[in-house]
Amino acid sequence: MGAWRQYGALTAVLGACTAAGLWGFANTGGPLPYAKRFASALQQGARDGSGALLDVGRGVVVAGPIRKQGLVGEYVAVVAVLALVGLATYAYTTRRASDPPRR
Amino acid sequence: MAHIHLGDGSFPLWALVLWTTLGGSLVAYVLYRLRTRSVETRHVALAGVAAAASFAVFQLNLPVWGGVHLNLTGLVGILAGPLLGPLVTVVVNVFSAALGHGAVGLLGANTLVNATEALVAFYAFRTLVRANWSPFPAGATAATLGLAAGAFLMGGIVVASGVNGSALPRADLALAVSGMVAVNLGVAVLEGVLTGFVVQFLATVRPDLVGAAADDTTEPSGVAV
């Protein structure tokens, strides 16, 4: 399929989702963290709000439940274990694939 | 990035039982399929790495749309496939709930939502690649569609279940939930484009990884990028 059709279809999908997102953002309280937005929308209903879509000053933070309970160390440990298991399995299979077949 | 951010006890008991049963049934079906088909160890390795990436990103709150986290479930589906992909979402949700991010009682519902994202992304990606789409538009479109499907399912689950302690009439609840679904669609744009770039990168440096899951754990003809 032609590149213009592929990117045209992608643009249409992204455009529709962006428009929906902007509507939802404005109708669920504006710039609220996701968990607060979820709770307030379901308890108080839809309500108007406005604000910046991007708040660079806030930065990237670990999710509230983990941060507030002091579980950041456990979070890092789980990520490390999952990554190590995946990478170790990958290394094992790569090495095994390069071994000559047994007779 | 759809994820039901409610505490334990938010859903009535019948809904809890229903979604847990459906989520458990999905996992049981996937495990049965995995037992009856051979899965290459490299696919398991890829699923492990995908689980680590998904779990890590799942816990990071980004300063866009008010503060959201990504799931990378679209990427998980594309890389790990329709069998290992749902299992990755179970692992990510279990570990997340263990750390307090997501309710333990909603594991079934959240697994259904995230597994749907992975499954739709996988099948959409495979369909688009078979239609000769390039990796970036195929990956981005497939991931966005998968995340959109998950967002709608999440909304449906919440509206169908009702929320304990919410005095909103069902129509007002549906309106509020539709706003949340719409926010998720907005976030899907970010995650979809990110997935597209990752798929494009992998297709350039390791094309075997992108089509790996589809090669022999699903239908005979897989994704060839």
Q: Is A9 domain-assigned?
A: yes
SS3 A54: strand
Q: Are residues A15 and A41 in the same domain?
A: yes
**Alpha-carbon span B52 to B58, nearest angstrom:** 10
Can you tell me the mean pLDDT for B177-206?
Answer: 94
Please name which of B131, B32, B23, B71 lies closest in space to residue A3, comparing C-alpha atoms. Answer: B131
Q: Is A44 domain-assigned?
A: yes
Taking contacts as CB-CB distances below 8 angstroms, the residues of chain B near A8 are none
Taking contacts as CB-CB distances below 8 angstroms, the residues of chain B near A13 are 141, 144-145, 192
Q: Are residues A38 and A69 in the same domain?
A: no
Q: Is A56 domain-assigned?
A: no
Q: Are residues A45 and A66 in the same domain?
A: no
ipTM for the assembly: 0.89
Taking contacts as CB-CB distances below 8 angstroms, the residues of chain A near B91 are 82
**Alpha-carbon span A45 to B8, nearest angstrom:** 20
Query: Do B186 and A62 lie within an 8 Å CB cutoff?
Result: no
Please give the single-letter amino acid code of residue B184: N
* Shortest alpha-carbon distance between residue A100 and chain B (Å): 17
Please state the domain count of chain A: 2
Per-residue confidence (pLDDT) for residue B1, from 0 to 100 = 67
Per-residue confidence (pLDDT) for residue B116, from 0 to 100 = 97
Mean pLDDT estimate for chain A: 86
Q: Are residues A33 and A66 in the same domain?
A: no
Per-residue confidence (pLDDT) for residue A100, from 0 to 100 = 61
Cα pseudo-dihedral B152, B157, B159, B161, rounded to 10: 180
Q: Greater confidence, A57 or B84? A: B84
Can you tell me the mean pLDDT for B150-161?
Answer: 96
Q: Greater confidence, B154 or A91? A: B154
Question: What are the E-state strand segments in chain B?
Answer: 60-61
Helices B170-205, A3-27: inter-axial angle, 10-degree rounding: 140
The yes-or-no verdict on residue B223 having pLDDT over 90 is no
Residue B61 touches partner A, C-beta closer than 8 Å? yes
Taking contacts as CB-CB distances below 8 angstroms, the residues of chain A near B133 are 1, 6
Whats the size of chain B, residue-wise? Answer: 225
Query: Do B59 and A63 lie within an 8 Å CB cutoff?
Result: yes
Of these ranges, A79-93, B36-50, B115-129, B197-211, the one predicted with the greatest mean pLDDT is B115-129
Q: Cα dihedral sign for B125, B187, B105, A42? A: negative
Query: Do A31 and B131 lie within an 8 Å CB cutoff?
Result: no
Query: Do B6 and A1 lie within an 8 Å CB cutoff?
Result: no
Per-residue confidence (pLDDT) for residue A54, from 0 to 100 = 85
Given pLDDT bands bounded at 50, 70 and 90, which one contains residue A14? very high
Taking contacts as CB-CB distances below 8 angstroms, the residues of chain B near A94 are 42
Per-residue confidence (pLDDT) for residue B219, from 0 to 100 = 42
Taking contacts as CB-CB distances below 8 angstroms, the residues of chain A near B132 are 1
The yes-or-no verdict on residue A96 having pLDDT over 80 is no
Give the residue carrying structure tokens 């259904």.
Answer: B112
* Shortest alpha-carbon distance between residue A95 and chain B (Å): 11
Per-residue confidence (pLDDT) for residue B224, from 0 to 100 = 42
What is the extent of the structural domain holding A24? 1-49
Q: Is A13 domain-assigned?
A: yes
Please name which of B61, B65, B63, B87 lies closest in space to residue B76, comparing C-alpha atoms. Answer: B87
Per-residue confidence (pLDDT) for residue A5, from 0 to 100 = 93
Can you tell me the mean pLDDT for A8-24?
Answer: 96
B38 C-beta neighbours (distance < 10 Å), count: 9
Q: Are residues A68 and A99 in the same domain?
A: yes
Tens of pLDDT, residues B7-60: 888 999 999 999 999 999 999 999 999 888 878 888 888 898 899 999 999 999
Q: Is A97 domain-assigned?
A: yes
Q: Which of B52, B69, B140 sits opposite A34 (nearest CB)?
A: B69
Given pLDDT bands bounded at 50, 70 and 90, which one contains residue B93? very high
Ordered domains of chain B (ranges, CATH): 13-216 (1.10.1760.20)
* Shortest alpha-carbon distance between residue A2 and chain B (Å): 8
Taking contacts as CB-CB distances below 8 angstroms, the residues of chain B near A20 are 181-182, 185-186
Q: Is A12 domain-assigned?
A: yes
SS3 A69: coil
> Kind and range of the H or E element at A62?
strand A61-62
Query: Do A17 and B186 lie within an 8 Å CB cutoff?
Result: yes
Q: Are residues A16 and A40 in the same domain?
A: yes
Q: Cα dihedral sign for B88, B120, B20, A63? A: positive
Q: Is A55 domain-assigned?
A: no
Q: Cα dihedral sign for B78, B83, B89, B95? A: negative
The yes-or-no verdict on residue B102 having pLDDT over 90 is no
Residue A8 touches partner B, C-beta closer than 8 Å? no
Mutate to test the interface with A, among B3, B94, B99, B168 (most CBs of A within 10 A): B99
Q: Are residues A14 and A40 in the same domain?
A: yes
Given pLDDT bands bounded at 50, 70 and 90, which one contains residue A67? confident
Q: Is A24 domain-assigned?
A: yes
Please name which of B82, B78, B77, B75 lies closest in space to residue B34, comparing C-alpha atoms. Answer: B82
Q: Are residues A45 and A71 in the same domain?
A: no
Mean pLDDT estimate for chain B: 89
Cα pseudo-dihedral A52, A58, A61, A65, rounded to 10: -70
Least confident of B37-41, B121-125, B142-146, B187-191: B37-41
